[in-house]
Structure 1
Amino acid sequence: MTPLTVLLGDHPHTRRLKETPVPGGDCRFVEASPLYPAFARMVRRLEYDVCELALATYLQAREAGVPVTLLPVVMIGGTHHRSLTRLPDGPHLTPGGLVGHRVGVRSYSQTTGLWVRGILREEYGVEASDITWVTTEEPHVAQYREPACVERSEAGRVADLLRAGDVEAAVLGPRAIGGQGEGLVPLIPDAEAAGLAWIDRHGTVPANHVVVVRDDVLRSEPDAVLALYRALQDAIAATGHERDDSPAGRAVAAGWSDSLANCLEIAGRYALEQELVRSPVDVGAIEKETAFVRGS
């Protein structure tokens, strides 16, 4: 059996998985810190056999024909109403008042940005093209071409754009909010309550990271891939007590479900509206592609 090269982030469920051998599978776990630059290496060079991947990157890679298949696992997720931030002493902007303004985001195809732009359109009537999105990094998927409302900055970090006055608001991922975004405040009023209301309406929690496997590996080592999937499924179940009932805690899951289908359908619709993809996302086809794990 050829060992699987597996890149997964540092989460409670992955720590448990990496500590013990995978029954029926030979896995060589590799590390990347920070994790997200490895996403480009996966979708451009297929550097890993199995890889945690941002949801928006997966949708774009699938459209571009990158030969990877989804494993139905949500590694991290949560609500994103509080991800749209502003300076506490800066101009008081409302979400609907962002039309014609500049907003910073690490990459236009960052998954947090996907969810934030979906919220702006759905709840405030603001189209992605109504805003200039100032980015500090290129997309992970090399084939993707950004729309005209995107421009690149040489600034190092998104929060630096905001503090320098180059943008009026900034989109920050969950970890960045507590890091470079320290001291910034949500632009959306009652962000936590608004996020919970979004979940109630849609019957799902927004996913940020999923897992993919290379198609050639899935063909050549199907038993090993299934063994890894089952071990990850078991690890998620075994660490459930470490997660609370917050959206982030509820997001982590393994297995095809109505919640995952809803999440993919909404993310696919948002992505099409924002020109992150140029063709509709076929969730039914994705479900069929994951049939090899059904019953696990």
Structure 2
Amino acid sequence: MSKLKLTLGCWNYDRTRAIQDGSVQPDGIDINYLDMPVEETFFRMARYREFDVSEMSLSSYSVSLHRDPKPFIAIPVFPSRFFRHSCIFVNAKSGIKEPKDLIGKKIGVPEFQMTAPVWIRGILSDHYGVPVDSVTYHTGGEEEPGRYEKIKLNLPEKIKVTPIPEDRTLAQMLRSGEIDAFHTARKPSTYDGVTVKRLFEDYRPIELDYYRKTKIFPIMHTIAIRREVYEANRWIAQSLFKAFCEAQRRTYHDLQETAALKAMVPWLSHDIEEARREMGDDYWSYGFENNRSQLDTFLRYHHECGLSPRLLKAEELFAPETLEAFKI
């Protein structure tokens, strides 16, 4: 019996590699895995819906849920998670020494709706007293000029967002002082620790303290299915979820191997032991229930910065079949 052929747009992660190389195959599905950088994958899926299944920005996906009809449905798989205290950069001459110094400043961001800046804005508001509407945001390309929001936004008037000149980049403008700070997912090329610095240079203990207080390991990306593909084949949500979980399980096993390191990280064993001690064995968890509170926090941040006209419920994000899904 022939399998359903589906395209999957996703970066080359260790936790998805078993699907990419075919050693893990979703039940009943023949996957054509298209390995692309996340920016390309997100743009092509959000703008043109080019893939049957795709890694997708959690923020872009949440924005899409306010469309009628809704173009996608997700499964609770999170290929990218990232603590973001390390991703706030400042010009050394801006006078920004602590988070509250950001108030009233010009903040660059590649796209206002990007997931990383949603988390950064929320963390700054919740934990450091920097309201979302206390700064002005300047959007554009980080390293190449001419980047635009991939999704049309309708923000409240109190949120001030202005595109930068088309011939400029945010990395350049941060170095020159035309913007005071930068919220981003990628470290800018102009970061040198002197002219351009991190707000939190010694970020690891700060991020660990944040985790200990909140139990949040911020979710960046999820896996989205074109809704018409899902509606025609409702079984694929569970099949894909099981496959991603199995691929991840194999990676967990590989990273705990001590005879020879399977990743090029000198103190990998130490870091894995620390992650398990602080966050538990399933420190990069998939599934709905064990991520509900983190999703609720993200959706509140998404609503508070004007990206969601109403506060979404976490249950609305995922195929109902996967809300009680179990791992094999």
TM-score normalised by the chain length of structure 2: 0.80
* Distance apart, 1:163 and its partner CA: 0.9
Mean Cα deviation higher: 8-17 or 38-47: 38-47
**Alignment match, 1:295:** 326
Deviations 1:185-241 (A, max 9, x none): 321475322222222222221011111111211122334443332221101111014
Secondary structure of 2:76 counterpart: strand
Judged with a 3 Å threshold, the aligned counterparts in structure 2 of structure 1 residues 209 and 23 are, in CA distance, closer, same or farther, namely closer
**Alignment match, 1:211:** 223
Secondary structure of 2:177 counterpart: coil
Report the AA paired with residue 307 of structure 2.
Answer: L
49, 56, 64: which is aligned to 1:46? 49
Judged with a 3 Å threshold, the aligned counterparts in structure 2 of structure 1 residues 292 and 171 are, in CA distance, closer, same or farther, namely closer
Report the AA paired with residue 168 of structure 1.
Answer: D
Alpha-carbon separation, structure 1, partners of 2:87 and 2:26: 39
TM-score normalised by the chain length of structure 1: 0.87
Report the AA paired with residue 48 of structure 2.
Answer: R
Deviations 1:150-191 (A, max 9, x none): 110125542222012211111121xx2275545443214753
Alpha-carbon separation, structure 2, partners of 1:262 and 1:127: 22
Secondary structure of 1:39 counterpart: helix
Q: Is 2:132 aligned against 1:122?
A: no
Alpha-carbon separation, structure 2, partners of 1:145 and 1:11: 33
Report the AA paired with residue 71 of structure 2.
Answer: P
Deviations 1:246-292 (A, max 9, x none): 5999763322232x111210011111111121110111333663537
**Alignment match, 1:261:** 292
Aligned-pair identity in percent equals 22
**Alignment match, 2:30:** 26
Deviations 1:40-76 (A, max 9, x none): 3222322111110111111111122432111101111
Alpha-carbon separation, structure 2, partners of 1:68 and 1:290: 15
Secondary structure of 1:212 counterpart: strand
**Alignment match, 2:150:** 140
Q: Is 2:154 aligned against 1:152?
A: no
Structure with the greater alpha carbon radius of gyration: 2
Q: Is 2:62 aligned against 1:59?
A: yes
Mean Cα deviation higher: 202-211 or 236-245: 236-245
Secondary structure of 2:171 counterpart: helix
Q: Is 2:98 aligned against 1:94?
A: yes
Judged with a 3 Å threshold, the aligned counterparts in structure 2 of structure 1 residues 251 and 23 are, in CA distance, closer, same or farther, namely same
Judged with a 3 Å threshold, the aligned counterparts in structure 2 of structure 1 residues 191 and 6 are, in CA distance, closer, same or farther, namely same
**Alignment match, 1:81:** 85
Kindly report structure 1 stretches of 4+ aligned residues shifted beyond 4 Å: 245-251
Secondary structure of 1:227 counterpart: helix
Alpha-carbon separation, structure 1, partners of 2:192 and 2:6: 39
Q: How many residues align?
A: 291
Mean Cα deviation higher: 100-109 or 214-223: 214-223
Report the RMSD for the aligned CA atoms in angstroms: 2.6
Secondary structure of 2:80 counterpart: strand
**Alignment match, 2:244:** 232
Secondary structure of 1:56 counterpart: helix
Judged with a 3 Å threshold, the aligned counterparts in structure 2 of structure 1 residues 104 and 178 are, in CA distance, closer, same or farther, namely closer
Alpha-carbon separation, structure 1, partners of 2:192 and 2:201: 18
Alpha-carbon separation, structure 2, partners of 1:257 and 1:158: 38
Judged with a 3 Å threshold, the aligned counterparts in structure 2 of structure 1 residues 251 and 50 are, in CA distance, closer, same or farther, namely farther
Alpha-carbon separation, structure 2, partners of 1:152 and 1:250: 40
188, 199, 205: which is aligned to 1:193? 205
152, 175, 185: which is aligned to 1:163? 175
Whether the 8 Å CA contact 2:10–2:55 is kept in 1: the answer is yes
Report the AA paired with residue 80 of structure 1.
Answer: R
Whether the 8 Å CA contact 1:76–1:251 is kept in 2: the answer is no
Alpha-carbon separation, structure 2, partners of 1:209 and 1:69: 13
Deviations 1:75-110 (A, max 9, x none): 111211121112356534321011111011111111
Judged with a 3 Å threshold, the aligned counterparts in structure 2 of structure 1 residues 23 and 115 are, in CA distance, closer, same or farther, namely closer
Alpha-carbon separation, structure 2, partners of 1:181 and 1:208: 23
Report the AA paired with residue 139 of structure 1.
Answer: E
Alpha-carbon separation, structure 1, partners of 2:12 and 2:216: 24
Judged with a 3 Å threshold, the aligned counterparts in structure 2 of structure 1 residues 116 and 290 are, in CA distance, closer, same or farther, namely farther
